[in-house]
Amino acid sequence: MHSPSSPGGRTGRPRSAAADAAILAATRDALVELGWSKLTMSDVSTRAGVAKTTLYRRWAGKNELVVDAVAELFDSLELPDRGSLEADVEDVVLQFAKLLRRPEARTALMAVVAESTRDEALRDRIRSAIVDRQKRLVVLGRERAQARGELPYEEDAALAGRSTDLVFDVIAGTVVHRALVSSEPVDEVWAAAFTALLMHGLRAGAGPA
């Protein structure tokens, strides 16, 4: 999987992590100020203080650059170990909501999602760079819950994969809708109620068919 920190098989001088970070931060700033339609690679290069050729050595175009700028924000999410699956989920829900309150995260996410409705390649990149990477949180949470005895182990890998997809979609979709579509608060009270509902479904699903 290509990411902003990997050269994708290209040869030459090693990538600079500092330059990558500056470029991605400049991209998010430009999105907030200019919006998707007015954002250009030239504008990003100027803001980041790098040559435009440096951008194109790393990213083929604006779509790839913006997705990686969003992905970097989402990679900051962590699943804490608070002793129970319910507490862990509540924590990550609140982290996610806090991230979505940041103008650069909110604007960048909405921009790439809107643009992806007419760009299949962009949808694929969002899936690989953001969605698939963030499913790690669901996998880790399930593994911890299984180790604690809160959830049973799943021997069917395909079934476990479908379960991961569903839980991720429910959490991410609900929080995004609440925060960005409904513009309602995602506070501790809401997070606790949502998590309790999710736990009821997970425990019910763990019982006999």
**Torsion from C-alpha of 107, 113, 118, 124, nearest 10 degrees:** 130
Dist CA 28 CA 128 (whole Å): 19
pTM above 0.75, yes or no: yes
Q: How many whole angstroms separate alpha carbon 161 and alpha carbon 83? A: 24
pLDDT (average), residues 164-175 = 95
> What is the reported pLDDT for 204?
60
Amino acid identity at 22: A
Phi, psi of 152 (to 5 degrees): -75, 155
pLDDT at 205 (0 to 100): 53
Three-state SS at 38: coil
Banded model confidence at residue 203, pLDDT cuts 50, 70, 90: low
The pLDDT value recorded for residue 38 is 93
**Residue for token digits 């995602």?**
186
Average pLDDT over residues 176-181: 95
- Which DSSP state fits 190? H
Among 13-27, 67-81, 146-160, the range scoring the smallest mean pLDDT is 13-27
Residue 12 has pLDDT above 60, yes or no: no
Rounded Cα–Cα distance for residues 173 and 194 (Å): 12
